[in-house]
Amino acid sequence: ALSSVVTEKDAEAAIELMLFMLRKVGMDVKTQAFDIDIIMTGQPKSKRDRILKIIDLITEMIKENNNEPIRKEDVIQRATTLGFERSFVEKVIERLQDSGELIEPKPGYILKTIM
């Protein structure tokens, strides 16, 4: 039966339960830190930050190219020199194309739809 009085033991059990759940669903495996963003958005903040860096890189490269399409391979190469894994950059570009944020006006070239 439930008690109308909360004990210290009850509070400790609640804290343990919360920590257990955070470890299960809110732990960023890359940083080994609790990340509430995983629960709220489905991905850790560290990954979102890396995606934003790729988007910023693409924006910068397009501006350097007078707002003309840039070679997808050039983005991948520059990103890998900055420490990103090729497969990660390829996935980001693919997701941005799927969402309509990037278009491929000609094979192998990309352009942002909104600058």
Helices of type H across the chain? 8-25, 36-41, 45-64, 72-81, 86-99
Greatest pairwise CA separation for the chain in angstroms: 71
> In a 10 Å sphere around its CB, with 0-12 CB exposed, 13-18 middle and 19+ buried, how is residue 66 labelled?
exposed
Give residue 115's pLDDT. Answer: 66
List the CATH code of the domain at 45-112: 1.10.10.10
pLDDT in tens, 68-99: 999 999 999 999 999 999 999 999 999 999 99
Packing angle of the helix pair 45-64, 72-81 (nearest 10 deg): 120
pLDDT in tens, 27-49: 787 788 888 888 788 888 888 99
Report whether pLDDT(6) > 90.
yes
Q: Assess contact for 101 and 113: CB atoms under 8 A.
A: yes
pLDDT in tens, 53-70: 999 999 999 999 999 999
Domain ranges in the chain are: 8-41, 45-112
Average model confidence (pLDDT) for the chain? 92
